[in-house]
Chain A
Amino acid sequence: MKKIYLAALLIAFSVLSLFIGVKSISITDIFHLTGDQWEILWISRIPRLISIIIAGVSMSIVGLIMQQLTRNKFVSPTTAGTMDSASFGIMVSMLLFSSVGPLGKMSVAFIFSLTGTFIFMKILDRVKYKDTIFIPLVGLMFGGIVSSATTFFAYKYDLIQSMSAWLYGDFSMIMQGRYELIYISVPLVVAAYLYANKFTVAGMGEEFAVNLGLNYKQVVNLGLVLVALVTSVVVLTVGSIPFIGLIVPNLVTMYLGDNLKNNLSHTALLGAVFVLACDILGRVVIYPYEVPIGLTVGVIGSGIFLYMLMRRKSYE
């Protein structure tokens, strides 16, 4: 799909997203908004839209980077334990440093998700049997272990209620004053653009990268730091949104190839459109109630993931 169509779709969905909700605001009201309507837009709908777009863009891009660096199409923050480790970090920060603010929570979550991702990479190094499917399955199992630990401690210390906000992504709680942390993802996405060529070279494998004079280890580590940071920021502000980092980049690279320079902006756009579409669907399907984004994306995403698994021959 051309970039221009994706951009048009993004704008259309964005407008739609602003005018869906319990409090009815019609697009025709836009020039004579009542104070009430203006407040709803300003405090709830616009922050929601911004966080949807940033989350969609950044999660898709870090998924793409992860697939490039591991040279495996099925590795993503969901299938490498990164997201589960971030949730674990949030739980730990609530347990041990309950008084810290969002930035403190983010730092703890970041340290945990980075550690989790490195552990996954170490497991990857040790695995002799490098089947395309085997690796993400190991990642899912690893993530499962981490998340069961999270649940265990959350039950034990009576945190399950507050934890569930981070275990399942949900945009309905987003409002002015409690989502701004997500802006941290913006410079991270810019960094991904600046390093696009280096990530592509790293994706050709260590020997290739060294031959071309690239500091391979440094680039891989930088990529993993980006992945862990973005994941922690998104999990902390929205909650975990599974599979975006997996299916969006796959859909794009299927058509555009693996040169990051060519596929980054498509991935970013499609990521935003996909999350936005899922969010709108979740808001209208049992209107006036809402299905949280984690569930909508989870259902649609796992469906697409299964479909991809079944036609994986084309990846090998």
Chain B
Amino acid sequence: MVKVRGVSKKYGGKMVVDRVNVDIAKGKITSFIGPNGAGKSTLMSMISRLITKDEGEILIDDKEIGSWKSGELAKKISILKQSNHINIKLKVKELVSFGRFPYSQGKLTKEDWIHIDEAIAYMDLGSMQDKYLDELSGGQKQRAFIAMVIAQNTDYILLDEPLNNLDMKHSVQIMKVLRRLVDELGKTVIIVIHDINFASCYSDYIVALKDGIIIKEGTTDEIMDSAVLKEVYDMDIPVEIIGGNKICVYFR
């Protein structure tokens, strides 16, 4: 379990994340939603020790994040940021194999290769594993990065806007994979996501942030409610049930 206790982050005098408390349950997809500048990405970066918190505690499996060794934490929690356009010429297979870096520091063992091949198969990248990243489309690239994270084989997987710049087909594909990671492999997935309807259809739990504080959190069913969403987004969002899912119709 990830426990966030009174965590804050200040940038140039402005509280971006303000004394946040939240528990993230194991074996679930938890979505962070909220308007731009709500502090979702900052909170996620602090949970994954990419940036340091100014105050508060973050407990990962009951151990404060600062007392984890970075190398050990890399076997426990992985993060993929939206800034995917890394300017490096690597083959898909090489990228995925770097997911094993925390375990083998680059000297890959047989076991590492099993994980790499499984991750590639899981993301359906077999046919393009020897291609360079810069030869792939946006959706394929995103799948390659997720495969790397799968090879990293961590209990917690954090993804910052994994659907950024993806078309509908690839978005659905990615979300289905995340669902499978949770249902089949028992992973805990935390995502920052802007598309409220994807959050509704795929997540178990939703945390809504605004101006650096959590203004609502609850099961998907509780959050997908016009009154709640009005508070989060300052707009009227009618919620309809279509095909068993709550869908927001906010376009007009």
Contacts and interface: CB of A to CB of B under 8 A. Distances in A.
Given A200-B98, A213-B72, A213-B73, A253 B89 contact: yes
Nearest to B48: A211
A312 interface: no
A201 B101 contact: yes
A196 B107 CA distance: 11
Contacts of B137: none
A316 B89 CA distance: 11
B70 A197 contact: no
Interface string A184-206: 00000000000011101101110
A98 interface: no
B102 A212 contact: yes
B132 interface: yes
A257 B73 CA distance: 29
Given A200-B98, A212-B98, A212-B102, A257 B90 contact: yes
Interface string B71-83: 1111100111101
A70 to B, nearest CB: 11
Contacts of B105: 197-198
Contacts, number: 71
Q: Which of B88, B90, B98 has the most CB atoms of chain A within a 10 A radius of its CB?
A: B88
Interface of A: 71, 196-198, 200-201, 203-205, 207-208, 210-215, 253, 257-259, 261, 315-316
Nearest to B70: A213
A212 B74 contact: yes
A241 B185 CA distance: 55
Contacts of A208: 86
A201 B79 CA distance: 15
B127 interface: no
Contacts of A214: 70-71, 101
15 contacts: A71-B86, A71-B87, A197-B105, A197-B106, A201-B106, A211-B48, A211-B50, A212-B99, A213-B69, A213-B70, A214-B70, A253-B89, A257-B94, A259-B94, A261-B106
Interface residues of B, number: 31
B34 to A, nearest CB: 21
Contacts of B132: 257
B87 A213 contact: no
Contacts of B106: 196-198, 200-201, 261
A213 B70 CA distance: 5
Nearest to B45: A207
Contacts of A205: 83, 86
B217 to A, nearest CB: 26
A211 B90 contact: no
B98 A213 contact: no
A203 B70 CA distance: 18
A298 B32 CA distance: 55
Contacts of A215: 70
B43 to A, nearest CB: 15
Most chain B beta-carbon neighbours within 10 Å: one of A200, A213, A259: A213
Complex A-B, nearest 6 residue pairs according to Cβ-Cβ distance, in ascending order: A197-B106, A213-B74, A213-B71, A257-B89, A212-B101, A213-B102
Contacts of A207: 50, 79, 81, 83
A211 B94 contact: no
